[in-house]
Amino acid sequence: MKPRLALAVIGDEIGPSLPEMLSFCAEHEVRRLDMRTVDGRNLLGMSLDEVNAIGRQLKAAGLTVPTFVSPVLKWPAPGKAPAGGKVDFAFDPSTCPAADPLAHAFDVAVVLGATKIRVFSFLRYPGFSPDDLAAPMGRLVDLAERCDVTVEIENEPVCNIGSLAELAGYFTALMEPSPWLRPLVDIGNSWSIGQPPSDDDMATLGPLVDLIHLKDRDFEAKRTVPLGDGKVPWARELTRLLGHVSLPEVVASLETHCPQDGRNATAKSVAALRRIAGEIGVEVV
């Protein structure tokens, strides 16, 4: 039995304002909204009162928040100069209203009612080793257990774990894997850097997966496009991944990355996911 896909949309992929997000969900029968920014402000930079006000409006609209799509560790590692240039949705932890950004991130997740929190692996720098993440991930796992919120580490090309091969390598290297730490598999990210996942990557990550991000890519134009409009072979990739998943349900969160026409691109992506899932015999709920 293939797992169900629990459809979610990252709110600011629709538009910057909360009313835009709410109206989209009502129009397209979306019941789950993953939260990252509102009106251009990252929730990690907001007070808990501000986050609570957002959460109340979401709840009133009948929406749940599976994941706080946080920017945790999407910043330079201590003493390390990042190798890349401009970073989308990067965050300066000194702008967090709390003294401890990691603890504040979990407080935000709890206020939203989220059961998952997305994290990264520091902005990419030369000489990275998975051991470099031991201390921060240990802290995050401790907070996760205390708050009952799972840590989801995403493969992000500007970070040290950028491809699915690197994500699989990280989890393979863990001496004592924690049930509170899972891979957030972003197949589109891996394809975008010319490193599509191998069968071994899928076999390693699949049994641990409870959340995936979906986006598509026009490789010739080197830009992100609505799901189904690009060249990522999504029917095949979902079939490969879900064949290894052990849970009955996986959150499938649309991260369309088409800001020039966010609402329409996300609408096309919602329709495409439902169509592709139907083609491969997977239920979308």
Q: pLDDT digit string (tens) for 101-155?
A: 999 999 999 999 999 999 999 999 999 999 999 999 999 999 999 999 999 999 9
Give the pLDDT score at 202: 98
Give the pLDDT score at 200: 98
Question: Has residue 285 been placed in a domain?
Answer: no
pLDDT at residue 240 greater than cutoff 90: yes
Question: Has residue 284 been placed in a domain?
Answer: no
**One-character DSSP codes across 60-97:** HTT-B--EEEEEET-SPPTT---SSS--TT---GGGSS
Give the pLDDT score at 151: 98
Distance CA 200, CA 181 (A): 20
Helix axes 48-60, 18-28, angle to 10 degrees: 30
Amino acid present at 171:
F
Q: Kindly indicate the confidence band of residue 176, based on its pLDDT and cuts at 50, 70 and 90.
A: confident
- Mean pLDDT over the full length of the chain: 96
Question: Has residue 37 been placed in a domain?
Answer: yes
CA torsion through residues 243, 245, 250, 252, sign = negative
- Token pair, residue 122, equals 């520091």
Q: Is the model's pTM score more than 0.85?
A: yes
Question: Has residue 59 been placed in a domain?
Answer: yes
Give the pLDDT score at 56: 98
Per the structure, the complete domain to which residue 66 belongs is given by: 4-279
Closest CA to 140 of 90, 181, 99, 79: 181
Taking only the tens place, the pLDDT of each residue in 156-168 is 999 999 999 999 9
Do 205 and 183 form a contact (C-beta atoms < 8 A)?
Answer: yes
What average pLDDT does range 13-34 have in this prediction?
A: 98
Closest CA to 140 of 158, 118, 112: 118
Question: Has residue 111 been placed in a domain?
Answer: yes
Give the pLDDT score at 149: 98
Q: Kindly indicate the confidence band of residue 285, based on its pLDDT and cuts at 50, 70 and 90.
A: very high
Give the pLDDT score at 273: 98
Contacts 24+ apart (CB under 8 A), 48-56: 48/107, 48/108, 48/111, 51/108, 51/111, 51/112, 52/111, 54/18, 54/112, 55/111, 55/112, 55/113
- Token pair, residue 137, equals 């991930």
Taking only the tens place, the pLDDT of each residue in 179-205 is 999 999 999 999 999 999 999 999 999
pLDDT at residue 30 greater than cutoff 80: yes
pLDDT at residue 237 greater than cutoff 80: yes
- pLDDT above 90 covers a percentage of the chain that reads 95
Question: Has residue 190 been placed in a domain?
Answer: yes
Q: Kindly indicate the confidence band of residue 82, based on its pLDDT and cuts at 50, 70 and 90.
A: confident
Question: Has residue 62 been placed in a domain?
Answer: yes
What average pLDDT does range 24-38 have in this prediction?
A: 98
Number of domains in the chain: 1
Give the pLDDT score at 277: 98
Give the pLDDT score at 83: 80
- Token pair, residue 36, equals 């990252």
Q: Which region, left, alpha or beta, applies to residue 113 given φ > 0 means left and ψ of -120 to 50 means alpha?
A: left
Domain CATH for 94: 3.20.20.150
pLDDT at residue 88 greater than cutoff 80: no
Distance CA 256, CA 131 (A): 32
Give the pLDDT score at 81: 86
Question: Has residue 143 been placed in a domain?
Answer: yes
Amino acid present at 230:
G
Give the pLDDT score at 74: 96
What average pLDDT does range 255-270 have in this prediction?
A: 96
Distance CA 285, CA 32 (A): 10
pLDDT at residue 15 greater than cutoff 90: yes
Give the pLDDT score at 175: 82
